[in-house]
Amino acid sequence: MIRQDYNRIDPKRRSAIDYKKKQFAVPTYKQQDYPHRLSLYETPPTAEITLEQFEQWAIDRLRVLAEIEACSFRNKTPAETAAHVTPLLQKWLPLHSNTSSSVGSQDENLKLERQKDHYSHFILRLAFSSTEDLRRRFARIESALFKLRFQNDDAKERQTFVESLQFDWEVVSEEEKRALGADLLNATPGMKRQDAEEAGWFKVDFEMVAELVEGRRVFLKAGKAYVPVREQMSMVLAGFNARLDKGLELAARALPRLDEDDRLTPILVHLSKNFATPDSTLSDSDSALPGAPINPSSIDPLSQHFPLCMRNLQMTLRKNSHLKHFGRLQYTLFLKGIGLTLEDCLIFWRQAFKLITDDTFNKEYRYNIRHAYGDVGGDAIRRGRGYSPFSCQKILTEHPPGSGESHGCPYRHFSVDNLTTLLQTTGVSDRDVLRGVKEDVEKKRFHIACNRVFEWAHKGDIKRVKEDDSWGAAELDTIVHPNTYFKRSYLLKTGGAAAVKGDEMEI
């Protein structure tokens, strides 16, 4: 908006100005067009969306980014990562090409897909711009997502997208190409002489293609890198990273202005916390195991399918015949989540607390168990059927265990020596797995350490179901909830392949 010179305002108009009120221009927003499937996210979104869309779109993108990061932590190859992430992209963040025949009402659906992709990127850019570590992680994973999409894009549409970018790439002339022919050929592994002579070449500052320089895949001269057209992805990726880094810095500067907005700030804080370990909640269908023998006498044999946090609670309970408050709460809600009824749960705890009298149990413990199930307490608790089982994120971040307490996450709250002993006690003997868990813990990748143990314990079962046509990679995404761990382990070991398809969690 252009500010008018006060002295040039007509005196009659000047007298009509109410100086007690701030003068605002009425903002107008332009709906953005999305001609290409890919985007460098240079222009922030301006149209209005609902708060529900704001949060849900960001959560869906976060699911995908978390899986990409998990693949990186597990040292999966690019091909393995693509195979794992592609079905998740189709589910949570679809992005079809202009020529795709798989979307009905094509124009409208394509626009909505690309709008969601555009907005979700900028929402997470805000959420993860507060610290240098978050900005670095976000940039790395977004870059990996862009690279995956770029490689899988339709060839013609990809080229049209690249041409629309108007990058400052200098095209190498035919004369210069002939003069440097031998050097270009020798510096470009795998290229034939005919290809070197016929292919197009670009000349860019060598800093733009650091990846190619590091791999010795380009010819360098006078600070310039000579890049064949086939390697244009590296140049596009360098441009994407440069713009994203700059955008994250600008977002970090703008972030303090959002403190006054009590609608967005809690959502952004919640999203940034979930970047460490995505949060999850359970629905009844998520936790149901039809036909499974869930009763007080079956908990001990079923504990072989428990994650380490719950198995530790079960072992401590059997050893001491007691658990302190937060341990009882964490374990009670987990047992509730796997399908143990309130009546059976009361029986289970009464049998476990065998060193006390019935009167002491009824006075000191019975009410808390009923309250966790929503059988007593406020109307809101009863309507909501009690509290939900704790997710990994909640266990990691809330109520760290003190002296004599057994709750929490062993991967985070145990020393490395104690963690190793506990893992060995539960049957984990593979040295490579133990070494990998130690590295994950040192780098604070606690849920990845837990998934590493799960994959080792079920490696044969996972291989089998991946070969089954009825399974998809999306059914074996990263576990971020203890009850998902149990359900997936139980079904894998008992051959309940079809039922595993219902174990997805909602963030």
The C-alpha angle 392, 397, 400, rounded to 5 degrees, equals 105
* Residue that has been written with the tokens 């990726």 in this structure: 237
Cβ neighbours around 463 below 10 Å, total? 9
Q: Is 450 labeled as ligand-binding?
A: yes
Please check whether residue 453 is in contact with residue 419, taking contact to mean a CB–CB distance below 8 angstroms: no
Please check whether residue 486 is in contact with residue 496, taking contact to mean a CB–CB distance below 8 angstroms: no
Handedness of CA 182, 186, 192, 198 (dihedral sign): negative
Angstrom distance (rounded) from CA 503 to CA 478: 12
Cβ neighbours around 347 below 10 Å, total? 15
Cβ neighbours around 130 below 10 Å, total? 16
Amino acid of residue 322: H
Helix or strand run (H / E) with residue 225 = strand 224-228
Please check whether residue 336 is in contact with residue 372, taking contact to mean a CB–CB distance below 8 angstroms: yes
Q: Strand pairing partners for 201?
A: 228
Please check whether residue 488 is in contact with residue 477, taking contact to mean a CB–CB distance below 8 angstroms: no
Q: Is 71 labeled as ligand-binding?
A: no
Dihedral pair phi/psi, residue 12, rounded to 5°: -65, -40
Going from the C-alpha of 328 to that of each of 101, 382, 410, the distances in angstroms are 54, 20, 16
- Given the DSSP bridges, would you call strands 201-205 and 219-221 parallel, antiparallel or unpaired? unpaired
Angstrom distance (rounded) from CA 240 to CA 331: 46
Dihedral pair phi/psi, residue 11, rounded to 5°: -55, -35
DSSP 380-434: HHHHTTSPPPPPHHHHHHSS---TT---S-HHHHS-HHHHHHHHHHTT---HHHH
Angstrom distance (rounded) from CA 343 to CA 335: 12
User: Residues annotated as binding site?
Assistant: 309, 392, 409, 450
User: Residues annotated as binding site for [4Fe-4S] cluster?
Assistant: 309, 392, 409, 450
